Amino acid sequence: MILDLSDNKLSGGLPDCWSKSQRGIIEVPKSKRVEDTSSTVAYTMKLQSLHMRNNSLSGEFPSFLRLCKQLVILDLGENRYSGNIPTWIGESLPSLRVLRLRSNFFDGNIPIQISSLSFLQVLDLACNNFSGNLPSSFGNFTAMVEIQEGSKPMLSNISTGSYYEESLLISAKGSDLEYTSVLLLVTSIDLSHNNFFGEIPNEVTNLSVLYFLNLSGNHFTGNIPQNIGRIPSGYQFLTFNDPSIYIGNHNLCGQPLQDCPTHKPPHQEEEQVDEDDCDMIWIYASSVLGFILGFWSFVGTIMIKKDIRISYLRFIDRTFDWFIKN
């Protein structure tokens, strides 16, 4: 159920013999043994936790993992794996809660099938060569949308015994944090230092119980989704009812602070800006036109009416004399 080979000097790839019926390498009960023409074994391995981080393992994403239907935690970080994430991951690993492929040489797009991992709560693909747009289906990770108390696949018999305690390294806020007893409460997405481009999908804001999100070191453009700055709810945030703990974060909104503002649709805001610009143009145009009409009306009247012209010139002379005397 557990295999932890982290922090060694292992190299090469994981052997295919893990998925073949070779006596002496892996013992399969007769009740589980079903052979086909390729002599592979169609059975479900009972592996729940696989940690291989910080080695020199290479090759493509291990294909035997599609047999591990009960796999909950998969950590292949800090190795030399390459190639794509296989599309079968969403169907073949239905219980997966942690997928950590950090610091490898994986490339290509993220398959949309990854959103089928409804129990996924930690996704760390940082420091690879992934590219393309983020699919809108990123907002479909059920375990990050709402609290799924009692419905998530648990690490049965893994963390309960004194011989082993499940742990996981999560990079957040510039440092590596090791989670053990509170691992069940952590939700995190780290896609930093890849080659993703395009806009950040608005569906990311559906992940209301997501605690860590790192998209830095990519080529994203456009706007940050408007609703991304709400205060999370659930788990330990339920005890944070004192507004004073959020002092200094002026743009946060939601309970226990003021309600988040409702934003007008973008086209309505653009229409409002256009109307304001038109009003200012009319004000300036009216002022200029009024000045021109008034000036030439006055000058024209002086030029046409002799008595008015004489009175105006006398007024100027008297005004000039008054300034000289005073």
Tens of pLDDT, residues 279-288: 777 777 777 7
CATH topology of domain 2-229: 3.80.10
Distance CA 170, CA 213 (A): 11
Distance CA 216, CA 211 (A): 16
pTM for the complete prediction? 0.64
Tokens matching residue 192: 């930093």
Structure-model confidence comparison of residues 182 and 318, the more confident one: 318
Tens of pLDDT, residues 291-311: 777 767 766 776 777 676 677
CB 232 within 8 A of CB 210: yes
Tens of pLDDT, residues 260-276: 766 555 555 455 556 66
Torsion of CA 302, 305, 309, 311, to 10 degrees: -130
